[in-house]
Amino acid sequence: MGDTFSEGNGEGADVGFGGRRGRLIASALMAVVVVLGVGLYLFQPWKLWQNETVSEALPTVQAAPPAGSSPTAVPTDSPPAPPGPQTLLQGTLVSHEHTTTGTAKLIRLSDGTRTLRLENLDTSNGPDLRVWLTDAPVKEGKDGWEVFDDGKHVSLGKLKGNKGDQNYEIPADVKLADYSSVTIWCDRFNVSFGAAALGPA
């Protein structure tokens, strides 16, 4: 009787240990899956192999017809053509966390609206990339990666593509004199992919 009881206890201990070990393994696997899922969501590494090319022309402005005229009327004296787009400031993009090339231009259109234009942009794709105007100085190398959210900055929206030519409207209440640089900013990790100091065109 005593031997039988002892053997029964041993079997129960083995089953209990095995069950506990199985639960530990399952918990560990679940933790790995969660960490992997969060990492994939945050870093989105597949984007490094996905290029998005944008080819936008410079915005055009339709001249308004003279007051009181009908759309079909042909004026005898044509008004002077409005002035064309003017490049106010521009700069060459330098690389930060990712190799970045291209030109940034602040352009005033004939109706007075302002546009930031990125031309011949070539950078890496990534998560949550934004286009910012900032007051931070542009520094080459790693010292310049994280400075652009230290001071004044305004977001012009999400980066439309990591390659090509693209336009970003500048709100009317933005004072261009307050900003001296442009950055392609990864808002998720607070780091610049590339930036340009703005100077006279």
Q: Is the pLDDT of residue 115 over 80?
A: yes
Q: Quick check: 120 and 103 in contact, CB under 8 A? A: yes
Residue 125 DSSP SS3: coil
- How many angstroms separate the CA atoms of 77 and 63, rounded? 15
Could you report the per-residue pLDDT of 120-147, keeping only the tens digit for each? 999 999 999 999 999 999 999 999 999 9
Q: Is the pLDDT of residue 10 over 70?
A: no
- How many angstroms separate the CA atoms of 197 and 123, rounded? 17
Q: What is the pLDDT of residue 16?
A: 57
Q: What is the pLDDT of residue 18?
A: 63
pTM score over 0.85: no
Q: What is the pLDDT of residue 77?
A: 58
Q: What is the pLDDT of residue 46?
A: 47
Average pLDDT over residues 57-86: 63
| Beta strands 101-108 and 86-92, pairing class | antiparallel
- How many angstroms separate the CA atoms of 184 and 75, rounded? 47
- How many angstroms separate the CA atoms of 66 and 79, rounded? 8
